[in-house]
Structure 1
């Protein structure tokens, strides 16, 4: 297990996890599992509660020791953490005047752990491992064995959640501290469908920082096998104490935890929302103002290259516009009658020898990009957006914090970051001005906060689909 994925649960949240599933009293004979137990900080609280409750029930020390062996289960893949966990639990026994026991704590991979036993409670803080950080052999195993991991760029914890559901008894309850992105990300759809029938409550900590060093926004999700017939899920936003009851049948692609004003017009039916150009090598194609001198026909770049002005366009990103940075972009294409025209290499070299020399000097970097198969070495790595970018457009960032900044760009500006908004060809009803008004409105901002994926700080990440699926009023 990657050490940086070992983020241990703060004590306050350990108590919340256990309280949320009712692991408080009448615990003797109830089986509980912590399936990524680390050094035991959750198990320590579990064991202490078990001992206290058993003594309240007048159980003898022998009965308590026997119960601990039979009712408390843990599993940890990391041997060092596993050993520390056993030592910590033994120390707890000594403090409580109990003899050492044979703990049912296992040093194995939970996802490959073959056990038929069912549990009354499962609690934990599963490892959060991003798709890109999962080893190839693990990816194959997850895709083969877990429905939640069949498609897309899933998180490692998806499989933990899925398997935990199967390990619950008929009346079992489960509480997990999970990334709150699970409720919104497109790759979490299969997981959401799996957990929806059993989800009883969600406690959202997106606006609070649980882990000191981790940037991940978290939530506690409570699943209960007995709630399969219940129609609603209780949602609590911990920071504001906002409380909602959500109909399960209305939770579809993304789980939205607020009441959204819904208009009559879908934004994407009138405006096209697209990713902007992807050069896959911005440092080569983008010319910063401090690095060039402008002459009548050329940009003298870094006192070395004569870049023909005919092939250089204005460019922008939400960041450059916010800080008022002036940038240019080499655009190795042209338009005739608004149709994209691609150059042959010889034609490009003959028409733009200065640019050709510059790009050729950087050819080794350009040919090592993960380009579209049809892309020539001197072209952008991706062909996305090229056909539609030559229009008047709006530009916004996919990261939203305190407000949405909307920038209007000319036809000749080729943005390289953010998403662009243009009129759809068949839109005879609304102007681009209307799109700007919508994107800057309070209603749209509240919609984005509810549907966006929480990231660091108070920011959310949005997608082009989120924008397209907004419904507005005509007014």
Structure 2
């Protein structure tokens, strides 16, 4: 064909498997090889061997089919999601298009003009939109791809296309196709403005995460090994409420968005019921003391734990016995600069999921270069991050004296003067607040407005009350902002002469002199 034009279906590999889509079923039955889909290798890219079986979206198969249907010199034009620029399993598509075809144009839309169109659904399906035009022809070394970024999110499709034809509401530029081939891991850079591109260029010149990921470097630099792995697989019906002392077991976890430490959810899974998926590094990873853990999909935070815990395959972790470096890595990953990098490289307009896996950390996260001149800043970051984590260890019993209380259940409670007053059948039991009265008052108001400690009969249990977490969120925010500024100073060489929370405003002003600081604040 001279032209192939289409809007292929966007269906995940797992969903295709459930629906027994023919090509996926044929792959699973080994009648078709992922390495030869209509002549295209959808399995792997030279030099980028995957430790797992890739699961490309169905539209990748349609790209392979579309190219196969073209005559030499024919053109393919598809509208597809922007995940083609970011998804790890679609590096094979990015490789093939940039290596073996001439990409003439890529148009990226910031808006929602395609959401809700086509097949009627109960609710709109979040998706991003991109149109590409490619020619079935080997690219010349000097070939440039025209990229168009349409910025107005509110225009409908007819107005949008009219504006593009008239060069309105767009940013347009040309980039060498060879740069797409050189940046297979991610093509989101074609959308970036000049300042974001400059920030990422400076950021990429920092140390590779290999200094932690590869034992050759980590043992030399930190006298430690750092393990990277996904969560494991275990059946839900094998989860227990009580451990068997004769069997090895792990605690399951729960995360709360206002905390940086994972909580135990009072359930366990025995080691014998845990299955190790292909590519797993084994249970020893989970037996290391210090861990950083995050959700693979849409993680808003990286969590810390020093407990013996187990996570399922929806979670990812880094573990080591080196507490100082794990705390430091935690501060880097949770920093505003890391969030800016993740958004710039991984986020697509209107897409529901942002995926951060081990490969993402390996390819995109950089580490500030530490020298004798800035070691003191790194030390301060570790110290203050530990201080921030320690805020989550404070219980109400640390702030209130319950020693004179014998009764175990109460109807209500209130802060009066310097006391926490417990009430039962109109009787009052005064418990002296030892310190942080305002924090106690605010915590009681927040917790009991949500009825988190009240039972169905409205009774309050003393033991629950004593163990209630009391976090100073104002202090947490102050420390987090201070840590983020110190991290920024390390990445972008802001000159810091004095450290300390009392110097936080001075440090912030010093960081703000750097042109990239405004991007981080967004």
Distance in 2, Cα, partners of 1:189 & 1:379 = 35
1:220 is matched with 131
Q: What is the SS of the residue equivalent to 1:235?
A: strand
Q: What is the SS of the residue equivalent to 1:393?
A: strand
Distance in 2, Cα, partners of 1:311 & 1:328 = 16
Which consecutive residues of structure 1, in runs of 5 or more, have no partner in the other structure?
Answer: 1-117, 288-298, 300-305, 334-377
2:273 is matched with 379
Deviations 1:419-455 (A, max 9, x none): 1123488x9xx72222122112233222222333659
- Normalized against structure 2, the TM-score is what? 0.48
1:330 is matched with 268
Distance in 2, Cα, partners of 1:264 & 1:189 = 24
Q: What is the SS of the residue equivalent to 1:436?
A: helix
| 2:461 pairs with 1:461 | no
Q: 2:340 aligns with which of 439, 446, 466?
A: 446
Asked which structure has the greater RCO (Cα within 8 Å, sep 6+), the reply is 1
Identify if the C-alpha distance between structure 1 residues 283 and 317 changes in structure 2 by more than 3 Å, giving closer, same or farther: farther
Deviations 1:263-310 (A, max 9, x none): 3311242154633442332453264xxxxxxxxxxx4xxxxxx85498
Deviations 1:377-402 (A, max 9, x none): x421226351111220111222237x
Matches within 5 A, 1:105-116: none
Matches within 5 A, 1:147-166: 147-148=39-40, 150-151=42-43, 152-166=54-68
Matches within 5 A, 1:3-82: none
Which consecutive residues of structure 2, in runs of 5 or more, have no partner in the other structure?
Answer: 44-53, 117-123, 153-169, 190-196, 214-225, 370-489, 491-522
| 2:164 pairs with 1:210 | no
8 A contact 1:123–1:175 mirrored in 2: yes
Identify if the C-alpha distance between structure 1 residues 172 and 148 changes in structure 2 by more than 3 Å, giving closer, same or farther: closer
1:201 is matched with 105
Higher strand share: 1
| 2:191 pairs with 1:249 | no
| 2:405 pairs with 1:472 | no
1:315 is matched with 252
Distance in 2, Cα, partners of 1:206 & 1:424 = 44
1:414 is matched with 310
Distance in 2, Cα, partners of 1:423 & 1:243 = 46
Q: 2:290 aligns with which of 378, 389, 392?
A: 392
Identify if the C-alpha distance between structure 1 residues 276 and 283 changes in structure 2 by more than 3 Å, giving closer, same or farther: farther
Deviations 1:18-37 (A, max 9, x none): xxxxxxxxxxxxxxxxxxxx
Identify if the C-alpha distance between structure 1 residues 130 and 314 changes in structure 2 by more than 3 Å, giving closer, same or farther: closer
Q: What is the SS of the residue equivalent to 1:208?
A: coil
1:223, CA displacement in angstroms?
A: 1.4
Identify if the C-alpha distance between structure 1 residues 250 and 387 changes in structure 2 by more than 3 Å, giving closer, same or farther: farther
1:221, CA displacement in angstroms?
A: 1.3
Matches within 5 A, 1:171-190: 171-190=73-92
Q: What is the SS of the residue equivalent to 1:420?
A: strand
8 A contact 1:329–1:414 mirrored in 2: no
1:95 is matched with none
8 A contact 1:317–1:418 mirrored in 2: no
2:229 is matched with 275
Identify if the C-alpha distance between structure 1 residues 442 and 207 changes in structure 2 by more than 3 Å, giving closer, same or farther: farther
Distance in 2, Cα, partners of 1:456 & 1:319 = 25
2:478 is matched with none
Q: What is the SS of the residue equivalent to 1:328?
A: strand
Q: What is the SS of the residue equivalent to 2:8?
A: coil
Distance in 2, Cα, partners of 1:128 & 1:168 = 22
Identify if the C-alpha distance between structure 1 residues 232 and 317 changes in structure 2 by more than 3 Å, giving closer, same or farther: farther
1:328, CA displacement in angstroms?
A: 3.1
Deviations 1:232-278 (A, max 9, x none): 33334434655554433233432332222313311242154633442
| 2:8 pairs with 1:126 | yes
Distance in 2, Cα, partners of 1:285 & 1:321 = 26
Distance in 1, Cα, partners of 2:351 & 2:304 = 27
Q: What is the SS of the residue equivalent to 1:387?
A: helix
1:13 is matched with none
Q: What is the SS of the residue equivalent to 1:203?
A: strand
8 A contact 2:296–2:356 mirrored in 1: yes
Identify if the C-alpha distance between structure 1 residues 148 and 187 changes in structure 2 by more than 3 Å, giving closer, same or farther: farther
Identify if the C-alpha distance between structure 1 residues 460 and 282 changes in structure 2 by more than 3 Å, giving closer, same or farther: same
Identify if the C-alpha distance between structure 1 residues 181 and 329 changes in structure 2 by more than 3 Å, giving closer, same or farther: same
Q: How many residues are matched?
A: 291
8 A contact 1:270–1:423 mirrored in 2: no
Q: What is the SS of the residue equivalent to 1:435?
A: helix
Distance in 2, Cα, partners of 1:449 & 1:286 = 38
